[in-house]
A and B are shown apart, each in its own frame.
Chain A
Amino acid sequence: AQSVTQLDSQVPVFEEAPVELRCNYSSSVSVYLFWYVQYPNQGLQLLLKYLSGSTLVKGINGFEAEFNKSQTSFHLRKPSVHISDTAEYFCAVSDLRGYKLSFGAGTTVTVRA
């Protein structure tokens, strides 16, 4: 079984400042890793995913994440945030057999002017 820990429940940040959301996972097997964003009263949208290959993954809306196998981490970063980035962010993991996404508890990002 896999589990995900998002280390920050809330991250307030000023507009145009950088942001990092931390995610650690636990698994005895190889995994796929994902970051999803959920805007208020919306479904989940995939920001980026790591399946294999380069450990630096670029996603939509200027986000990127780095997979670190030795530290079992998959932290999400954006160099300059906008007000519109205010949302809930979920890190998720699935094993290579698939079918089940295990989500972290989520990080609420609030961007202030």
Chain B
Amino acid sequence: DTEVTQTPKHLVMGMTNKKSLKCEQHMGHRAMYWYKQKAKKPPELMFVYSYEKLSINESVPSRFSPECPNSSLLNLHLHALQPEDSALYLCASSQDQVLLEAFFGQGTRLTVV
């Protein structure tokens, strides 16, 4: 199983809503990542979890809150987002934090209205 599964695939939320994105992998990978991708742009790293601990936060606003409940799951909690936060949110995983190969999920297309 070389899949990274993200849910939901699409999400529309208002600026006052609270929602969560979910990511799951069963490859035994110990590093997991959140990326944000705007249209026609490359992915931008947001957070890195290594062995279930947050190791990298790329200066992401606090309205995005990551959580890693266990080694297979990664959540991204969203609160008070702005329309400019609308993007494709990609989850990825790798065996460990030394990036020999990263596996990406299909992404969640988020629209903030």
Contacts and interface: CB of A to CB of B under 8 A. Distances in A.
B98 A97 contact: yes
A98 interface: yes
Contacts of A106: 40-42
Given A44-B43, A105-B41, A106-B42, A51 B107 contact: no
A100 B107 contact: no
Contacts, number: 59
B48 A104 contact: no
Interface residues of B, number: 28
Interface centre among B48, B96, B99 (most CB of A within 10 A): B99
A49 B101 contact: yes
Contact of A42 (B4, B45, B99, B107): B107
A46 B103 contact: yes
Interface of A: 32, 36, 41-46, 49, 51, 90, 94, 96-101, 103-106
Interface of B: 4, 6, 31, 40-43, 45, 48, 50, 55-56, 90, 92, 94, 96-107, 109
